[in-house]
Amino acid sequence: MKNDETKTKDLTSILWEGADILRSKMDANEYKDYILPLMFYKFLSDKNLSEAHNLLSYDKGVSLERMQDEYEHVKQDAKTWKDLKSELMNDHKYYLEPEQTFTHLIQEIKENRFQREHLGAAFNAIEACNRMYEGLFKAIDLYSTKLGPNEQKQAQTIVDLMLKFNELNLLDYEGDVIGDAYEYMLGQFASETGKKAGEFYTPKRVAEILTRIAISGQENKRGLLVYDPAMGSGSLLLDARKYSQFRDLVIHCGQEIMTTTYNMARMNMILHGVSPEKQRLKNGDTLDADWPTTEESEFDMVVMNPPYSLKWSANEGFKSDPRFSDYGDLPPKSKADYAFLLHGFYHLKNTGTMAIVLPHGVLFRGNSEGRIRQRLCEKGAIYAVIGLPEKLFYNTGIPTVIIILKKNREDINRNILFIDASKEFVKDKAQNNLSEKQVDNIIAIYKNRTDVAKQAHLASFDEISQNDFNLNIPRYVDTSDEEKEINLGKAINELTGIDKEIGTLSQTLYTSVLELTSEDEGLQADLKKLANLFKGDNHVC
């Protein structure tokens, strides 16, 4: 379905042009607070019109404008309108009045009748329909002075954004529109802000490795329980649907501390058609208080890309917290990496798999982190360590590592597979990326679980213990190239040939300089000295 009155544009083009509208008005880190909610509202509005049309008509390929006319007309029949609203609420848990749709507001804009109150009313109407929509548009302040110095300019900024997003066809978009938009904005506009992004987005190929490993062997499980305690925009949770044989039965559980990012995850769930009973999302601090603690609190899959080396309280009271009490030490206040890891591991089922992305320092740092790492190795918890290339992430250029964890390995083989994938990347402007083939290669090495020259080593527990539980990958995977042996006889022959060539050239230069003459006695003397430099055996060899 295409919009007849506008030319559908590429998502990235629209995002770039939308950012142009906001540029110089606010920090680049705030673009998403306006761009993503407006895009989401357009999606809900367009879907509302499309679903209503499907219930009312068999016509295909109809424009949004024609659907809007049809939608306005049906409201004149009270019974039909009541039945239509009931169908929309049953199927999608929301509906919009004809005057609250994005398409209607665009018409108001074209007729100079638009007011920001109308847009706010549409937001409120969606939020009031069902609990799953509550607070979704909380972050977007339609009256902020960041939009302009006066009411007219503020309203014009909103109008310009709406007209720009009207060029976008979201109903036919294939992919994770919120995740794609978020990733694009991080990549394009991170350099425009002095603030370090508080939210972390996992690039698609890295997310694919995490998900394919964590779901391995569980693809056919009904009601698969997936948990991400630092979920960001929710893309990692949603990736499980790509590989599950029962995608609509997957239960998504996640927590996010940033309210705006938490709402992005909620939008993402709705955009992907995840029913309310299949999503359990919370806006909160994962480390501060354990969650979830009721219903299902252990998961088949735990996938995480938490903020790296974040400070946390490390309060002494956490030593009795069941998430950390088995390890004797708490992660240091300056680095919460192991706090996130232990939290996720605590919530992993005995039959499940956890995959977490962290900085390399967790593999070799000492003190409390070293003792926690040793205890994890002794429990057989660490199943594999995969070193990734640098510059894969938008918010940091450092190389990262994926740690795979499993339970119930304490009494069996506690070996660890080390994979060095640091050279597995494709250069893409300022960022590095992983190709599909490279991802498949990493997954194949992981599943084969055997040594691969310069790429992987299956280290025994004794070997790890002898290394004092230092898991730095170069200790186990030698990627260095062997020095080539020098053929001494061949080298002597080559040097002899070079020496002869130098001698011939020197003799030629000696003869040539001698032929030069000058009436100036001083210059003539200098020429003779120069000739003598090339005479006889003055060359190096």
Distance between CA atoms of residues 102 and 94, nearest Å: 15
Among 431, 446, 475, the domain-final residue is 475
- Give the pairing type, strands 400-405 and 348-359: antiparallel
Total structural domains within the chain: 3
Residue 483 resides in a domain: no
Nearest CA among 53, 38, 79 for reference residue 164: 38
**Cis ω for the linkage preceding 292 (within 30 of 0):** yes
Q: What is the CATH number of the domain that holds 41?
A: 1.20.1260.30
Residue 179 resides in a domain: no
Q: Where are the alpha helices (DSSP H) in 10-143?
A: 11-22, 31-56, 64-74, 78-92, 102-110, 116-129
Tokens of 390: 């640098």
Contacts of residue 74, Cβ cutoff 8 Å, sequence gap at least 6: 52, 56, 80, 81, 84
Nearest CA among 443, 422, 357 for reference residue 395: 357
Please tell me the predicted confidence (pLDDT) of residue 185.
74
Please tell me the predicted confidence (pLDDT) of residue 7.
38
Among 174, 194, 215, the domain-final residue is 174
Distance between CA atoms of residues 470 and 477, nearest Å: 13
Statement to judge: residues 17 and 155 lie in one domain: yes
Per residue in 125-167, pLDDT (tens digit) is 999 999 889 999 988 999 999 999 999 999 999 999 999 999 9
Residue 184 resides in a domain: no
Cβ-in-10-Å burial (0-12, 13-18, 19+) of 76 comes to exposed
Residue 498: give the domain boundaries. Answer: 488-533
Under a CB-based contact definition with an 8 Å cutoff, are residues 204 and 184 in contact?
no
Q: Check residue 95 and give left, alpha or beta (phi > 0: left; psi -120 to 50: alpha).
A: beta
Residue 540 resides in a domain: no
What number of CA atoms fall less than 13 Å from residue 269's CA on the CB side? 26
Distance between CA atoms of residues 475 and 471, nearest Å: 7
Q: How many CB atoms lie within 10 A of CB 334?
A: 10
Statement to judge: residues 372 and 498 lie in one domain: no
The one-letter code for the residue type at 287 is L
Q: Which residue's entry shows tokens 């042996």? A: 485
Contacts of residue 489, Cβ cutoff 8 Å, sequence gap at least 6: none
Q: Which residue's entry shows tokens 């977007």? A: 140
Residue 539 resides in a domain: no
Statement to judge: residues 100 and 240 lie in one domain: no
Please tell me the predicted confidence (pLDDT) of residue 91.
87
Q: Is the pTM of this model over 0.85?
A: no
Taking 70 as the pLDDT cut, the residues of the chain under it are 1-9, 175-176, 179, 183, 186-201, 394-396, 429-430, 481-485, 513, 536-541
Residue-wise burial string across 43-75, b where 16 or more C-beta atoms lie within 10 A, e elsewhere: bbbbbbbebbbeebeeeeebbbbbbbebbeebe
Residue 197 resides in a domain: no
- DSSP conformational letter for 505: H
The backbone torsions φ and ψ at residue 280, rounded to the nearest 5 degrees and listed phi first, read -125, 95
Q: How many CB atoms lie within 10 A of CB 351?
A: 13
Among 174, 194, 216, the domain-final residue is 174
Statement to judge: residues 228 and 291 lie in one domain: yes
Q: What is the 3-state secondary structure (H, E, C) of 469-499?
A: CCCCHHHCCCCCCCCCCCCHHHHHHHHHHHH
Statement to judge: residues 61 and 131 lie in one domain: yes
Residue 5 resides in a domain: no
Q: Taking the CA atoms of the chain, what radius of gyration do you get in angstroms?
A: 32
Please tell me the predicted confidence (pLDDT) of residue 3.
41
Please tell me the predicted confidence (pLDDT) of residue 444.
96
Statement to judge: residues 437 and 496 lie in one domain: no
Write out the H or E segment, with its range, that includes residue 2. none
Statement to judge: residues 517 and 452 lie in one domain: no
Q: Is 92 helix (H, G, I), strand (E, B) or coil?
A: helix
Residue 345 resides in a domain: yes
Statement to judge: residues 492 and 469 lie in one domain: no
Statement to judge: residues 308 and 454 lie in one domain: yes
Under a CB-based contact definition with an 8 Å cutoff, are residues 362 and 403 in contact?
yes
